[in-house]
Amino acid sequence: MPSYSRVTLVLLALGFAALALFPLVGETFYIRFFTKIMIYALFAMSLDLLVGYAGLVSLGHAAFFGVATYTVAGFIDKLGIADGFLILPAALAVAAICAAVIGWISIRTTGVYFIMITLALAQMLYYFFNDQLYWGGTDGMNISAKPLLALGGFTLVDLSNRVQFYYTALACLVTAFVMLSVLLRSPFGHALVGIRANEGRMRSLGYDVQRYKLVAFVVAGALAGLAGFLESSRATFATPAYLGWHESGHALMIVILGGMGTLYGPILGAFVLLLMEDYFATLTERWLLIEGLFVMAVALLMPEGLAGLPRRIAALRRRAPENGDG
């Protein structure tokens, strides 16, 4: 139910505009890197729909991201079909179907149960790809080509061109952001937030609570699939690690660092976390040590994330003079 303040809207517009202008001035390395960041921002944003709005803390979200990467690999290298207009809907559909099945089982439960079950079921998909030699086992698969986005012989978007890929990722990110914002302003979004606030009341008001949760879970899964489609096209490989629970944990870090329940928070979080990881990695080989400590500090000290910082600072300011008077 995001109704953004005017300041937030202006900042958002400026942020997206800056991203749109970046390839004109940015170095090649950073154009590639920002593309990756935007893909992870999209992935994290889809998780924010669950964590920040529906109150469903999923620790298995990477499964849907990962099955989409394998769908791309399967089409291109198993079936020999490179038509992006076939692969993209297929990747979304596979992710959505997996989300429907996993969601159907796990939304019967709440709280810690839900966390554990989403983790376990995602891990089941992880092992499915990890154990099957057909899918390349632990090494995963190299994808020999990028999906072709062409109509009647005319290439609409050339994904092997890094600038075009950058704008494709940006377009997907903005579209997803607008779409989710609209969705959350609709009666559906209000019902979802209502369920998180008081499930019992929504049920007694006659809402089919389980169905709302399942729809949210499937939408989030399909969007994660879109991110997976982009990621496998970018990296040209698919590995079980994409489905693994460290990927899910990483996405959760992005969501909370940026500020959950805001949709734009995950974009902020993705940029900050991935740039920071990149910087830590230049400092020491043991950068995960720093990242771990950082995440623990965020969990303890910054529950509202970066997006919540202005509000916290404002609250502190407001309190300060009162204390002085008293």
How far is the C-alpha of 127 from the C-alpha of 129, rounded, in Å? 5
**59-98 mask for another protein (x: CB under 8 A)?**
x---------------------------------------
Binding another protein by CB under 8 A: which of 28, 109, 144, 155?
Answer: 109
How far is the C-alpha of 61 from the C-alpha of 223, rounded, in Å? 11
CB count within 10 Å of CB 219 equals 20
Within 285-304, which residues bind another protein (CB under 8 A)?
A: 286, 288-289, 291-296, 298-300, 303
User: Closest separation between CB of residue 303 and another protein, Å?
Assistant: 6
Q: Which helix (H) or strand (E) holds 41?
A: helix 28-48
Using the minimum distance from each CB to another protein, give the nearer residue, 139 or 182: 139
Q: In this structure, what token pair is assigned to residue 176?
A: 């997803």
Q: Which range of residues in 125-133, 169-177, 202-210, 270-278 is near another protein by CB under 8 A? A: 125-133
Residue 51 in the binding site for another protein (CB under 8 A): yes
CB count within 10 Å of CB 239 equals 23
User: Closest separation between CB of residue 300 and another protein, Å?
Assistant: 6
User: Closest separation between CB of residue 225 and another protein, Å?
Assistant: 21
Residue 100 in the binding site for another protein (CB under 8 A): no
CB count within 10 Å of CB 181 equals 18
**238-257 mask for another protein (x: CB under 8 A)?**
-------x---x--xx--x-
C-beta separation of 212 from 199 below 8 A: no
CB count within 10 Å of CB 154 equals 6
Q: In this structure, what token pair is assigned to residue 174?
A: 């903005």
C-beta separation of 20 from 170 below 8 A: yes
C-beta separation of 55 from 86 below 8 A: no
Using the minimum distance from each CB to another protein, give the nearer residue, 119 or 267: 119
Give the residues lining the site for another protein (CB under 8 A): 51, 57, 59, 105, 108-113, 115-117, 119-121, 123-124, 126-128, 130-133, 245, 249, 252-253, 256, 260, 286, 288-289, 291-296, 298-300, 303
